[in-house]
Structure 1
Amino acid sequence: MDSQAAYLGWSDGRVLVGEGPFEAFPAPPESGVAFYRNGYGLSNPKPWLVPSNWKWVSREEFFTEHSTTIDWQSLEASDFAGVFQEISDSIRRGTFEKTVPVVVEKGRVLEGDSGSLFGAGDCPEPLVSYGFKDGANGFAGQSPEYLLRVSGTRVLTMALAGTARAEEREVLEVDEKEIREHEIVAQALVSKLGDLGELHRGPRGIMGLGSIVHFHTPIEVELEQAVSIPSLVRRLHPTPALGPLPRTEETMSRLIEWRNRLGAPDEFGAPFGAVVDGDFQAIVAIRGVWWNDNDLRLPAGCGVIEASRLVNEWRELRLKREAVKARFGL
């Protein structure tokens, strides 16, 4: 049987590790541990995976070094440019206010083993480590964005949108396009959660991630009544940071069509998480690599609004991919 395993960095600094085979269920268990794995369209009828064994480990104990050499293919802008033009036309027609296309850089392992990327490198805060493997297939990443943290009646989420190089931090602070993109995401989250209880939106700040910085706004809700974890996931995913605004059947279908055309992995931008005795934490699966045997894919997305320009978005996509390569030593 193919080996299966999953891991997720927890908010207390530990790493939750599960070993397969996993048993899949349509809903989370009332107690115990289950991982949550789904595609971008949330089409998996049984996304809750109960491991055969699981354990907590320290970050120092879990993460490993690897020696993997990748031959990266050059990435042409033409396919993305075509999608960008279609998006711009749709924005002008009023179908979208914002959406998030994805490009994928491909590579092939020349030396080493792609499976060694599972748990590779260290993962400093505020990045959150995640990974899943099933035999020769898998993905692993270090995401700066969590979709949900649920403990009792307390729900935490965040708006993470607006990107610049670290040396352009001061420019980002006054960049009207990036501020507008961030506010679209933050306001949409507030509107999605405001009817559930007392909501507190924190101040907009800047999250530093080494070579890259993002606008960041924390959002917290104290639930007035019980809300199931699956319904919270569906209410929030995808946020406008990774999805369309407005989010309708038409705009989701169109975005998924663009994603498929550009070769995005199904899990990219989807929630990946775990529940531990009722407490749930889920990241947005970005800043990672996907592999199938020795073939690798490195996806990255960018938020497109009316003020977006092709050359700037193409640079942002490269910046994000280079940040992933640096984290994984690729």
Structure 2
Amino acid sequence: MNLLSGDFALISTANGELLVGEGPFTEHAHCPRDGVAFYKNNFTLSAAKPWKVPAMVHRIKPSVFHGFERPEMKWTAPTAEGFARVFSEIGETIRSGTLEKSVPVTTERGEITAGSVRGILAQLSNQSDPFYSYAWVEGESGFCGQTPELLFQLRKGRFKTMALAGTARASERSVFAFDEKEIREHEYVAQTLVENLSDLGMVKRSDRSIMDLGDLVHFHTPLEIFMYGDQSIDFLLQKMHPTPALGPHPRTQETLEMLYRWRNELEAPECFGAPFGVYDDGVFHAVVTIRGVFWDGQEVLVPSGCGVIEESRLTSEWRELELKRNAVKARFGI
């Protein structure tokens, strides 16, 4: 297997290995009954055939990526004008009573000036908790990342997910624990998840804690559901995405259409924040594609999003967006 050429999909497994699917892929509208199939969709979940069955499957150690040479980059930071306009519009919608929270996205653009884009995959050799590695490479385009956010895992009627929202610099951890705005943003996410999932089974909510990601910290609440009966994975994906951490609250067709429009205006990559997962002989595991890098040819994109609620302030959210992008660039050595 040569990951320097050819199409492939990759995701972390529970035992610390990487499950890799090597192309060519066959595409399906629904999850197969057995074998291995990757799930790759856009943020609006509009792909007709999101299930990708690989020609070959490998289970490898992350060290396979050692020796990849990282590319040299020239970056262009996003301007504040577009974000300020969207932020203002979200604020007006909140004050009108239509919305309580939404998640705009800004994107930093880069150009590869030397080396190969696949050199970005080198960071996947440094996999560590609480991150999940993921990648999709198709011709000259693709994405890869290390996300802290599990969308959900389904195994024998046990459904695990998490609320992950509220952000600060690691140096602000002590005061972050008492930040009322960040706690409220997190509680929007956690409480909405509990309400949304209670019809599936008995919901066990663990205590809120702080997840340490090195440069950043987040509030984190694990959730587990002991399901009443079987549900299709396709149904569960539609039910879970977008999570309250990346989507609007309340989540209605009207507020979703607003979010899609704001993402388009700010030119967010179509797969940023979308589900990416793998079905592996009865077990399904999906992550949220944040903390990642997206590319097409020589153009590289690093997006970041922030939760905007009534208490949010423009300058604070703008700093948070930059903080998240800088953390991604530092992690991937670009």
So what's the TM-score if we normalise by structure 2? Answer: 0.96
- Asked if 1:80 is matched to 2:83, the reply is yes
- Matching residue of 1:128: 132
Show CA shifts across 1:189-210 (max 9, x none): 1011112111100000000000
Matched residue type, 1:237: H
Contact kept, 8 Å, 1:65 with 1:120, in 2: the verdict is no
Aligned to 1:216, what secondary structure does the other structure show? Answer: strand
* 1:237 corresponds to 2:241: yes
1:285 counterpart = 2:285: no
Equivalent in the alignment of 1:326: 330
Alignment partner, residue 117 of structure 1: 120
* Paired AA for residue 262 in structure 2: W
Whether the 8 Å CA contact 2:68–2:121 is kept in 1: the answer is no
Percent identity between matched residues is 50
Query: Residue 169 of structure 1 aligns to a residue in which SS?
Result: helix
Could you tell me which residue of structure 1 aligns to residue 153 of structure 2?
A: 149
Tell me the amino acid that sits aligned with residue 99 of structure 1: S
What do residues 235-274 of structure 1 show as CA deviations (whole Å, max 9, x unaligned)? 1110110011111111111111110111101110100000
Specify the code of the residue in structure 2 equivalent to 1:316. E
The answer for the alignment partner of 1:176 in structure 2 is 180
Offset of residue 74 of structure 1? 2.7
How is 1:201-212 mapped onto 2 (pairs within 5 angstroms)? 201-212=205-216
User: In structure 1, what residue type is equivalent to 2:114?
Assistant: E
Per-residue CA deviation, residues 67-103 of structure 1 (Å, 9 max, x unaligned), is: 2111001321111001000000000011111000000
Count of equivalent residues: 329
Q: SS of the residue aligned with 1:7? A: strand
In structure 2, do the counterparts of structure 1 residues 190 and 273 end up closer, same or farther at CA, with 3 Å as the change threshold?
same
Query: Which residue pairs with 1:105 in the alignment?
Result: 108
Whole-angstrom CA distance in 2 between matches of 1:220 and 1:164 = 26
Partners of 1:59 and 1:208 lie apart in 2 by 22
SS in 1 for 2:245: coil
Bigger mean CA offset, 11-20 vs 300-309: 11-20
Contact 1:196 1:223 in 2 (8 A): yes
C-alpha deviation, 1:123, in angstroms: 2.0
Q: State the AA in 2 paired with 1:318.
A: E
Q: 1:64 offset after TM fit, Å?
A: 5.1
| Alpha-carbon separation, structure 1, partners of 2:78 and 2:28 | 39
**1:60 corresponds to 2:63:** yes
CA contact (8 A) 1:64 1:120 kept: no
Contact 2:142 / 2:296 at 8 angstroms: preserved in 1? yes
1:47 paired with 2:43, answer: no
Residue in 2 that maps onto 1:162: 166
Structure 2 unaligned runs (5+)? none
Query: Contact (CA 8 Å) 1:14, 1:59: kept in 2 or not?
Result: yes
Contact 1:104–1:300 under 8 Å retained in 2: yes
Partner of 1:270: 274
- Of residues 18, 31, 34, the one that matches 2:34 is 31
Q: By how many angstroms is 1:172 displaced?
A: 0.9
How much has 1:63 moved relative to structure 2?
A: 5.4
8 Å Cα contact 2:122/2:332 also seen in 1: no
Q: CA deviation at 1:12?
A: 1.5
The TM-score with structure 1 as length reference comes to: 0.97
For residues 108 and 88 of structure 2, the distance between their equivalents in structure 1, rounded to whole angstroms, comes to 20
CA contact (8 A) 1:153 1:223 kept: yes
Separation of aligned partners in 2, 1:178 and 1:66? 38
Secondary structure class of the residue paired with 2:237: helix
1:282-303 CA-to-partner distances (Å, cap 9, x unmatched) read 0000000111111011100000
Deviation at 1:111, TM superposition (A): 1.3
Q: 2:73 aligns with which of 64, 70, 75?
A: 70
- In the alignment, which of 17, 40, 43 is matched to residue 20 of structure 2? 17
1:62, distance to aligned residue in structure 2 (A): 4.4
- Maintained 8 Å contact 1:119/1:140: no
Evaluate the alpha carbon distance shift between residue 22 and residue 215 of structure 1 in structure 2; reply closer, same or farther with a 3 A threshold.
same
Alignment of 1:219-230 (within 5 A): 219-230=223-234
RMSD: 1.2
